[in-house]
Structure 1
Amino acid sequence: MQFSIDIGCEPKTAVEFKRNWFTGRTTITIDGNEKTLKDPYSLSTHIDLEFTKRWEFSLENPEAFKLVVEQIRPVLFGGFQPHQYNVYVDDSLVLEKCGY
């Protein structure tokens, strides 16, 4: 799964989210700064009892925004079915994606 959005007015904040379906590696890039959210070498990436993961970020460029990325996996065979991704900016849903 990979998607990108631009947030705010000039200058816009570029946000890119990537998840490798095979390894589980998940990263987010905000204005060129990449951060690893899930590492394939961490056991919690592959074994997790939570069905919803939420990552929250604080963006300031030049306005302050609250960015939330939410990943919802299916209950049964979560690794073999598409996941739901929701992106919120200041508690407003701006993007919905479904995929691996």
Structure 2
Amino acid sequence: MAVIGQKQTFRRNGMRIKYTLFSIHICVVVGGAMAAFSSLRWSAATCFLVAALLINGALATWEDSRPGGFDNPNGSEKTTPMRPILATVAIAFGVLLTGAWIQIG
């Protein structure tokens, strides 16, 4: 919800779409640079970068939610929400396989 004077932004599950689109744009640009200087295809390199970002985000979320982490500094919460983390890893694995299929196929 926007406060008075702030611009309304789209949200999906608490994540701003603007930041997601920016991250995908960066992956496309860097994937193109990787394709220019290696034997990778452009779309496969982009898929590999997106999968790496997803895995990195899932690992950071898991690490921060553990006792003593950024989101749980005093260790009061004993359980780590694994379902969203595993869903993100599964999506990353699918994107990684798609990139491999594009590169090989």
Q: Point out the structure with the larger strand share.
A: 1
Give TM class, smaller chain. under 0.3
Q: Point out the structure with the larger helix share.
A: 2
Query: Which structure: larger Rg?
Result: 2
Structure 2 length-normalised TM? 0.26
Larger RCO (alpha carbons 8 Å, 6+ apart): 2
Structure 1 length-normalised TM? 0.27
